[in-house]
Amino acid sequence: VSEMNQCTIADKIEFIGIGLHSGSKVRMEILPAPASSGIVFERIDYPLKRRIDAKIENVQGTKLSTTLSNGECYVSTVEHVMAALNGMGVDNAWIRVNGPEIPIMDGSAAEFVSEIIRVGIVKQGAKRNCQWISQAFEVTDGDRYIRARPSRELKLRCSIDFPGSIIGKQTVEWKLSRENFENLAQARTFCHLSEVEAMRKRGLALGGSLQNAVVVSDERILNEEGLRSKLEFAEHKLLDFIGDVALAGFPVLGDLEIHKPGHDLNAKFVRTLIQNQNKLLSSTPLPQHSEIPVGERAAILVYAI
């Protein structure tokens, strides 16, 4: 990732699906975009001010999904398509959508990734603006945290804990590579059946089904096909993180330990990075020997939610 040029997709790709929360049909197109334009959403069903840049300052909501807004219109559930673009190394793309929600597809990023692979990725004539974590720090919310420390490459460790549920405790350790990302992209979103019922009462998750989520009830997984991988739950949380961290607007490299993440904590992490860019980020990696060993907690800046 680090020394390379920016990339976009080689051709337009299209998706038709439903919005997880609205339940209504949506059409989405992803088009190639010029170097340094970043990821941009466009609400084509909206008369004016349709453009919404995929930037942290446009995050309007982090409940259940990440919602971006330009003050006039919004687009929600952006995290899986953002993850697909980020994980595949697509820096610039124009995403046209005819409704307020990105199609949920099968609840993972797999279909976005396979379409990106099908059309291919092209290098552009501008360098990628990679930023390395230059100082150990963490953002916290109660017992949840994201701890960052300098590293020359992107290393992620994500743990979740759902006591009293079959999900239980899971930890996934992960390094960025094309193959690792293609596997991670298969992990589907998940929820407890009791949450589905509560969400439906509030008019949410209307498009949710066993076709686009893993649904857990007591000690059982309701999906007939079961899980796609043993760590699918933690893997999906990591996928969400990869989507949300892309809202920094540039690749962030470092060693990150993520415990019980959610879109709120992910956004807090990115906001902290952007607001303290001079202190926390560097456009060159630290020399290898100055990396802080895992477990070393001294001199960590703490940002609480």
Binding residues for Zn ion, rule: CB under 5 A, are: 189, 240
157, amino acid identity: R
- The nearest distance, CB 40 to Zn ion, in angstroms, is 21
- Cα–Cα distance for residue pair 188/42, rounded to 1 Å: 25
257, amino acid identity: E
21 is catalytic: no
- The nearest distance, CB 102 to Zn ion, in angstroms, is 11
Q: Which is nearer to Zn ion, 240 or 257 (CB)?
A: 240
Q: Which is nearer to Zn ion, 86 or 189 (CB)?
A: 189
Q: Which of these is catalytic: 21, 80, 263, 289?
A: 263
- The nearest distance, CB 50 to Zn ion, in angstroms, is 25
DSSP 293: P
| Cβ-proximal residues to 81 (8 Å cutoff; 6+ apart), any chain | 28, 30, 95, 102, 109, 112, 243
Q: CA-CA distances (angstroms) from residue 247 to 57, 113, 165, 226, 297? A: 9, 18, 31, 32, 27
Q: Using an 8 Å Cβ cutoff, are 23 and 203 in contact? A: no
- The nearest distance, CB 37 to Zn ion, in angstroms, is 25
Q: What is the DSSP string of 120-136?
A: -EEEEEEE---EEE-S-
Strand-strand pairing, 121-127 and 131-133: unpaired
Q: Which is nearer to Zn ion, 42 or 240 (CB)?
A: 240
Q: Which is nearer to Zn ion, 90 or 213 (CB)?
A: 213
Q: Which residues pair with 14 in a beta bridge?
A: 29
Q: Which of 138, 126, 98, 135 is nearest to 18 (CA)?
A: 98
Q: Which is nearer to Zn ion, 132 or 241 (CB)?
A: 241
- The nearest distance, CB 134 to Zn ion, in angstroms, is 29
Q: Which of 35, 241, 12, 27 is nearest to 115 (CA)?
A: 12
Active site residues: 263
